[in-house]
Amino acid sequence: MRCSTDIKSFLPETELDLPLYLSAVQAGFPSPAEDHIDRQLDLNEYMVQNPAATFFVRACGDSMRDAGIHDGSILVVDRSRQPGRRSIVVAVINGELTVKRVEYKDKDLYLLPENPQYPEIKITPEMDFEIWGVVTGTVCRF
């Protein structure tokens, strides 16, 4: 399929850096910190290891409350990561996206909530199930 859409390269740079410190400029004397000026901190670099494979997903609901995922949290999901034991993942169950902790018990795969009010889900072969990506962090604003 030939298409006229421009393909722009993926730019992982952030627009906003957080300065380590701010110091007023003094005329006359060179800043004693000059030799120590470091790179500024970049939240993207902290949150995202593989930009091409990282997606943001909004959580809706409170079944993962005790894992620090609240209603409205933005999840950082890295699809290039292999899920490990007890990883928190975004999964597809029966055509819907959900977020749970995965765990194997006696070779059975379970999806565990992080809120005692919700039940565990045992994954059975007849379920339409797939791990969509591994949640590597959450972002929320107050």
Question: Active-site residue among 73, 87, 100, 105?
Answer: 100
- The residue among 42 and 114 lying less far from other proteins, judged by its C-beta, is 114
Minimum distance from residue 124 beta carbon to other proteins (Å): 18
Q: Is 63 a catalytic residue?
A: yes
- The residue among 67 and 109 lying less far from other proteins, judged by its C-beta, is 67
Tally Cβ neighbours within 10 Å of residue 63: 20
- What token pair was written down for 64? 């993962």
How far is residue 51's CA from residue 102's CA, in Å, rounded to a whole number? 24
Q: Is 100 a catalytic residue?
A: yes
Minimum distance from residue 41 beta carbon to other proteins (Å): 22
CA angle at residue 13 from 72 to 22, to 5 degrees? 90
Residues that bind other proteins (CB under 8 A): 1-10, 50-53, 55-64, 69, 74-75, 79-80, 90, 92, 95-100, 113, 115, 117-118, 130, 132
Minimum distance from residue 91 beta carbon to other proteins (Å): 9
Question: Active-site residue among 63, 73, 80, 107?
Answer: 63
- The residue among 1 and 22 lying less far from other proteins, judged by its C-beta, is 1
- The residue among 44 and 115 lying less far from other proteins, judged by its C-beta, is 115
Minimum distance from residue 7 beta carbon to other proteins (Å): 5
How far is residue 132's CA from residue 117's CA, in Å, rounded to a whole number? 25
How far is residue 39's CA from residue 18's CA, in Å, rounded to a whole number? 10
- What token pair was written down for 137? 């962090």
Q: Distances from the Cα of 8 to the Cαs of 11, 50, 141, in angstroms?
A: 9, 18, 30
Q: Which is nearest to 121 in space by CA: 76, 79, 64?
A: 64
The residues annotated as belonging to the active site are 63, 100
